[in-house]
Homo-oligomer: A and B are copies of this chain.
Amino acid sequence: SISQDIDHILETQSALSVDLGGTNLRVAIICMQGKIVKKYAQPNPRTFEARMHLLLKMCSDAMRDAVSLNCRILGVGVSTGGRVNPQEGVVLHSTKLVPEWSSVNLRTPISDALHLPVWVDNDGNCAALAERKFGHGKGVEDFVTIITGTGIGGGIIHNSELIHGSSFCAAELGHIMVSLEGPECSCGSRGCIEAYASGQALQREAKRLHDEDLLKVEGMDMKLSEPITAAHLISAAKLGNSKANAVLNRACTALGVGIVNILHVVNPSLVILSGVLASYYETPVQHIITERALISAQGIKVVTSDLEEPALLGAASMVLDYATRRTY
């Protein structure tokens, strides 16, 4: 009927977006313009069964809400930690950060449950797609994005397209090693920038200092019951704690050297930092580039993302870009 057609036109073309991170499992309804209409978050379960169950439950709930929000869901985009074969919609392999998450076909169960097309890619790659469509990467042919969250993820755009690599292992930027020895990493190696500069690495160092009673300094606001995080390390350093400062300096140097390595491999024109620690790292990383990059690579720009949710937005962009190409 005519009234149904009008209803249809009035609906906003949208994507259901899923982000499976080292800490949280998030779902969002995101419309064509990149607006996050509604967002859901739960701690990411540590077992495969519980995770898949929660994921499908959160998606179904969001689908129900989408109807009442007048959002027409065109498909599901999934951002996940680990190496992903995006052609098959399969997580090939993950580190300890997301346990029980190897050889997992995500496309089939989600598509079967929701009767929608499903796209899947690595979280860092999704963040790069988000920057390309909505962020600082708009119109930039060659850029790299690095997310510092629980772990460190990355994505590389070359000639306006993602580099996935021959075994979907490109842009695993968190596992660039900047030390032959160095701290152990979730991947089984050591000296990776993730093991120096991720949220988890800083939390580990903060806890270590706290256990040795070396974290808290005069003037620092810290409740007994509070879990120790990277934020405590940063505030201790600001208040003059030299041990906290040394840990953070080492993290900045490691991340900076890792980024210089990226410059000497793919030499993008822009590096976009995202994640909670991005703005903290921006200036030190620029400093390390000046100190340690080849002269020809020093013109690179380093910026902090202004996107609220790069992984979720990038996952949505896989749906929205496809729908745009198909529809228009």
Is B83 in contact with A294, judged by CB distance below 8 angstroms? yes
The reply on A291 being an interface residue by CB < 8 A is: yes
Choose one: B176, B178, B268, B295; the contact of A179 (CB below 8 Å).
B178
Q: State whether A267 and B168 are in contact (beta carbons under 8 Å apart), knowing that A178-B177, A257-B177 are contacts in the complex.
A: yes
Contact for A169 among B83, B163, B175, B294, CB less than 8 A: B294
Select one of B166, B168, B266, B295 contacting A165, CB under 8 A. B266
Considering the chains assembled together, what is the distance between the CA atoms of A325 and B299 in angstroms?
35
Pick the residue among B171, B175, B253, B299 that contacts A167 (CB under 8 A).
B299
Q: Is there contact, CB below 8 Å, between A176 and B264?
A: yes
Contact size class for A?
A: 35 or more
Does A50 interact with chain B (Cβ within 8 Å)? Answer: no
A300 contact set on B, CB distance < 8 A: 166-167
Cβ–Cβ < 8 Å partners of A250 in chain B = 180
Query: Given A142-B166, A178-B178: A172 and B260 within 8 A (CB)?
Result: no
Q: Given A172-B265, A261-B261, 13 more contacts at CB 8 Å?
A: A95-B294, A158-B163, A165-B268, A165-B297, A169-B264, A176-B261, A176-B264, A176-B265, A177-B260, A178-B191, A180-B253, A189-B260, A189-B293
